Amino acid sequence: MRDFAGVLSSNPPRRRSQMKLATFLSLLILLPVLACRKENQSASIKLDQVGYPTDAVKIALVSAPAQTFQVKRRTDNVVMLEGNLSARVTDANSGDQVQVADFSALRTSGTYYLEVPGVGRSWTFSVGPEIFSRVYYLAMRAFYGQRCGTAVNLGPEFPEYTHAPCHLEGSFHPSSGKRGRRDNVGGWHDAGDYGRYMVNSGIATGTLLWAFEMFGSKLKNIKLNIPESGNGTPDLLNEVRWNLKWMLDMQDDDGGAWHKQTSEHFCNFVMPEDDHLPSEVIGTGKPPYKSTCATADLAAVAAIAARVYQPFDKDFAARNLRAARAAWAWTERYPDVTFRNPPGIFTGEYGDSDCADERLWAAAELWRTTGEAQYNRYFVDHYAKYQPTLGALDAESWRGVAPMGLWAYALAARPDADSRALADVRVAALAAAQQTVERTRRNPYRVSLGAEDFRWGSNGLAANYGMQLLVANALAPDPACLRTALDNLHYLLGRNTFSISWLTHVGEHPFRRPHHRPSGADHNPEPWPGLLSGGPNAGRQDPVLRLLPADLPPAKVYSDDQRSYASNEVCINWQAMLVFLLAGVMK
Ligand SMILES: [Zn+2]
């Protein structure tokens, strides 16, 4: 409360009309917080509302002046630990002055809260050996909630969270080069809307498959309570298959993949089964109609799937490898067919003017899977141009997947690797991670985000940095990388300027109004569970953010408002990054 008031009072008078509206919006945002703050929790105390692994560094931040803190046990208020706060440090990205409460010495499992004399008490948190498995369960199960083409029911845990089968009929839009029905059912709704987009599916699905490939021993026995649970295949792979099958169905007979399947414009905030706009396969509008970015992403993802599904379903693995090869061959014929929304199409474009990084990723994954010289040669001939994408202030995204290709080559650990390429990639990946570790250590909020990172999907970027650190840790184990990855998770789960957990239903003070059609259209008072918000975005590309005070520091440009699609939308790509981060830091 105090922080927010401070921000509003710093507005110049000429913005008074906007300020009034901003004040009104702020009150709307704060009402539910005030209503549930029965025990005087202070948003000036910021910590991970899930908690801290027993053996980890445990740090909370206090943004109001104080001297000391106590950690108290939730059940009986017994003081477990006392300490002094550090000196105040200004965080330039939020404008907050923060002090550190270090309670790393607390190593007894339990549920606790911080008491800061003169400030108040914190949200509760846990200390224990396996505190993130429930968060992983909710975050991964959120993909089940995004399933298109089937009924979804989150079960007795979340009894009213259901939707009927949706988008069962499809057709070819004229831009696809074909006409008539195309009932390719399946996939995940991409974000707050009901579209399905190949390039965003590419990085999301690839990231989840990597999570299994790298951390499968921790994940394979976690049951997600989805319809396929118990079929002998780990549930992460069961869930990913739902989307993968749709991606495979987006491949044309010539090997190319259409860019997306959506309606012509976004529907209103209705449940998915009530969206009756035709679901159309959309192409580039002229031969060859498919796009290189979508096709190369399919090649990369299907090549990973060919490896990962091999122990569980050889036929499906083989189908994926055939698809990956055909897709690669198509991109050799058409290396730079880019996509723009054709006339009359107003859904997400996921436009990308350069598909060579997607091809680099595809070549690396196909080589990693098959060991064939043609893919290795392509990678070795092209990787050098993309080395800078492993810089410290860069990370992979749906548009820029070169880091995935470079990391895939280094992680493959194949004996036929080109030694110079391998060394180059390893050196760059490890150097970038070290710089991220240092930058995060200096950041008062202990998050890897730099000032320019508070843009669309900044929370996903925080998780991306976690991925960068976890990949480096896989190449050369380093406790500092793991610790810093965990710092980014702490940021997402409450140790941020808003003292808010950016995962629905997680922590005592989660965000509650995602830009997510089922959450807005159903009759549940709370949103669908396990969804990650996009996060602060100084780009302000929506009307809600534009009404916030003009001089807000970048980390503060956020509104827990359903209408703020630029700061509060959910999306499968950053959801996948979060799952990867959780999988990496879980025990
Ligand atoms: Zn649907």
Whole-angstrom Cα distance, residue 298 to residue 259? 10
Q: How many CB atoms lie within 10 A of CB 585?
A: 24
Angle value at C-alpha 62, between 61 and 63, nearest 5 degrees: 120
Closest alpha carbon to 566 in 585, 586, 538: 538
Question: How far, in Å, is the centroid of ligand 1 from the Cα of 192?
Answer: 12
Active-site option among 252, 515, 516, 561: 515
Whole-angstrom Cα distance, residue 289 to residue 285? 6
**Residues 110/129, Cβ–Cβ less than 8 Å:** no
356-370 vs 314-333: helix crossing angle, rounded to 10: 140
DSSP 309: T
User: For residue 540, what are the contacts with CB-CB under 8 A and spacing of at least 6?
Assistant: 546, 548, 557, 566
Classify 98 as helix, strand or coil.
Answer: strand
Q: Which two tokens stand for residue 312?
A: 């569980």
**Residues 49/493, Cβ–Cβ less than 8 Å:** yes
Question: Residue type at 143?
Answer: F
Q: In angstroms, how far apart are the furthest CA atoms of the chain?
A: 71
Whole-angstrom Cα distance, residue 110 to residue 126? 6
Q: Which two tokens stand for residue 422?
A: 């391998």
* Whether 569 is catalytic: yes
Closest alpha carbon to 461 in 492, 420, 419: 492
Please tell me the predicted confidence (pLDDT) of residue 135. Answer: 98
User: For residue 528, what are the contacts with CB-CB under 8 A and spacing of at least 6?
Assistant: 142, 145, 154, 158, 161, 504, 514, 516, 518, 519
Helix (H) or strand (E) holding 86: none
| Strand runs labelled E in 117-240 | 120-121, 125-128, 152-153, 162-163, 170-172, 196-197
Helix (H) or strand (E) holding 392: none
Question: How far, in Å, is the centroid of ligand 1 from the Cα of 228?
Answer: 19
Q: Which two tokens stand for residue 362?
A: 């595809």
Whole-angstrom Cα distance, residue 543 to residue 442? 34
289 vs 174, 236, 306, 383, CA distance in Å?
A: 10, 33, 26, 28
SS3 for 488-533 is: HHHHHCCCCCCCCECECCCCCCECCCCECHHHHHCCCCCCCCCCEC
Question: How far, in Å, is the centroid of ligand 1 from the Cα of 340?
Answer: 23
* Whether 76 is catalytic: no
Whole-angstrom Cα distance, residue 123 to residue 37? 9
Whole-angstrom Cα distance, residue 249 to residue 281? 11
Question: How far, in Å, is the centroid of ligand 1 from the Cα of 517?
Answer: 11
Residues in the chain: 587
339 vs 140, 298, 348, 349, CA distance in Å?
A: 30, 15, 11, 8
Please tell me the predicted confidence (pLDDT) of residue 167. Answer: 97
Query: Which ranges of the chain have pLDDT less than 70?
Result: 1-39, 392, 394
Residue 439 C-alpha from the chain's centroid: 21
Active-site option among 115, 190, 193, 249: 193
Question: How far, in Å, is the centroid of ligand 1 from the Cα of 188?
Answer: 7
User: For residue 254, what are the contacts with CB-CB under 8 A and spacing of at least 6?
Assistant: 288, 290, 330
Question: How far, in Å, is the centroid of ligand 1 from the Cα of 493?
Answer: 29
Question: How far, in Å, is the centroid of ligand 1 from the Cα of 58?
Answer: 42
* Whether 193 is catalytic: yes
Question: How far, in Å, is the centroid of ligand 1 from the Cα of 279?
Answer: 9
Question: Residue type at 437?
Answer: V
Question: How far, in Å, is the centroid of ligand 1 from the Cα of 10?
Answer: 45
Map tokens 């905030």 to a residue.
269
Question: Residue type at 522?
Answer: D
Whole-angstrom Cα distance, residue 371 to residue 416? 8
Q: Which two tokens stand for residue 335?
A: 């290396």
Whole-angstrom Cα distance, residue 503 to residue 536? 14
**Residues 358/402, Cβ–Cβ less than 8 Å:** no
Whole-angstrom Cα distance, residue 396 to residue 367? 20
pTM of the model: 0.93
CA atoms within 13 A on the CB side of 453: 23
